[in-house]
């Protein structure tokens, strides 16, 4: 399985991604240390919202960069699920390499699932460490609240990534990239129709008051932080069970394909 996982690492250009990702995170952390939130007033980076509340613009700038990195890493997992199967199907050298290994369908499928699991938790760990560094140099206020909220929401994000992977990996492994993408698009369109139906018939007046909604959301999060954290841990356990169930189903159908 080690050889298969190394092949997957090469397929997603893992070395290049690691260098770029670590460089960006290191640069962000170094800049945060050089420009802590306490410098905002001297740099005239203190803003005011409509209610007259002071907002540390320097902190918000770093929080925005942090959230951008979070979204980028989330997209990585989705891209990698497709890339792993595409690399196996498109390269004759990789197909020959895989066929030369004494591995069963069980080991082949397991290598994909284990690789995605490790990659997900490594990315989430990097994000958590980055959040801790940024929070240490952020002044109390909205910026720090957003970082703390993101740190707590890392577990739900991890659960969501694992849940998405448990759906995408069987599609790409069993159907290939093209058919897998078509199936994923069909599922996405179904969800879009559900969302449109919700927006047509539900009360969405809160969309016109985005600032107030954000404040209320942060207040709700701070009030139920313990319950949210507990639910996050439980959701991770449930998603890991679903992930394992997805693996067993994929192994079953993969073995029948090769029979």
Q: What is the pLDDT of residues 28-87, one digit of tens each?
A: 899 888 888 777 666 666 766 666 666 777 778 888 888 888 888 878 877 777 777 766
Q: Please give the Cα distance from 60 to 47 (Å, whole number).
A: 10
Q: Is the pLDDT at 93 greater than 80, yes or no?
A: no
Phi-psi region at 101: left, alpha or beta (left = phi > 0; alpha = psi -120 to 50):
beta
> Percentage of the chain surpassing pLDDT 90?
2
Q: Alpha-carbon distance 14 to 186, whole Å?
A: 30
Contacts of 81 (CB under 8 A, 6+ apart): 116, 164, 165, 168, 169, 172
At 99 the pLDDT is: 56
Comparing 50-59, 201-210, 225-234, which segment has the lowest mean pLDDT?
A: 201-210
- Predicted local confidence at residue 245, as pLDDT: 92
Among 9-13, 23-27, 138-142, 170-174, top mean pLDDT goes to 23-27
CB neighbours (10 Å) of residue 166? 23
Tokens representing 32 are 């945060």
- Condensed to tens digits (0 to 9), the pLDDT of residues 100-132 reads 655 666 777 888 888 888 888 888 888 888 888
pLDDT above 80 for 18: yes
pLDDT of residue 5: 73
Alpha helices in the chain (DSSP H): 2-11, 14-34, 57-90, 92-100, 105-136, 142-152, 154-201, 210-223, 225-258
Angle at which helices 105-136 and 14-34 pack, to 10 degrees?
Answer: 10
| CB contact at 8 A, 66 and 31 | no
Choose between 235 and 88: higher pLDDT. Answer: 235
Contact call for residues 169 and 156 (beta carbons, < 8 A): no
- Residues 242, 164 contacting (CB under 8 angstroms): no
What pLDDT shows up at residue 23? 92
Q: Model's pTM, two decimal places?
A: 0.73
Mean pLDDT of the chain: 77
Q: Quick check: 77 and 116 in contact, CB under 8 A?
A: yes
**Residue 254 near residue 105, CB atoms below 8 Å:** yes
């Amino acid at each position: 399985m080690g050889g298969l996982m190394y092949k997957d690492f090469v397929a997603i250009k893992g070395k290049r991604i690691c260098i770029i990702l670590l460089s960006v995170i290191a640069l962000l952390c170094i800049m945060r240390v050089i420009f802590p939130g306490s410098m905002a007033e001297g740099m005239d980076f203190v803003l005011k919202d409509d209610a007259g509340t002071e907002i540390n613009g320097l902190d918000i700038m770093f929080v925005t960069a942090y959230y951008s990195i979070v979204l980028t890493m989330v997209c990585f997992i989705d891209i990698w699920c497709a890339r792993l199967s595409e690399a196996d199907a498109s390269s004759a050298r990789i197909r020959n390499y895989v066929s030369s290994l004494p591995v069963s369908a069980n080991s082949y499928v397991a290598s994909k699932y284990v690789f995605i699991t490790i990659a997900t938790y490594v990315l989430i760990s990097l994000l958590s460490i980055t959040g801790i560094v940024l929070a240490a140099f952020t002044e109390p206020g909205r910026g720090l609240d957003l970082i703390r909220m993101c740190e707590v929401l890392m577990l739900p994000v991890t659960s969501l990534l694992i849940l998405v992977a448990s759906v995408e990996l069987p599609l790409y492994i069993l159907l290939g990239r093209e058919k897998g993408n078509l199936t994923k698009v069909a599922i996405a369109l179904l969800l879009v129709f559900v969302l449109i139906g919700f927006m047509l018939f539900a009360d969405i007046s809160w969309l016109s008051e985005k600032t107030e909604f954000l404040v209320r959301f942060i207040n709700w999060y701070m009030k139920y932080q313990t319950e949210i954290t507990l639910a996050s841990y439980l959701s991770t356990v449930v998603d890991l069970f679903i992930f394992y169930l997805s693996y067993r189903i994929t192994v079953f159908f993969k073995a029948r394909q090769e029979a």
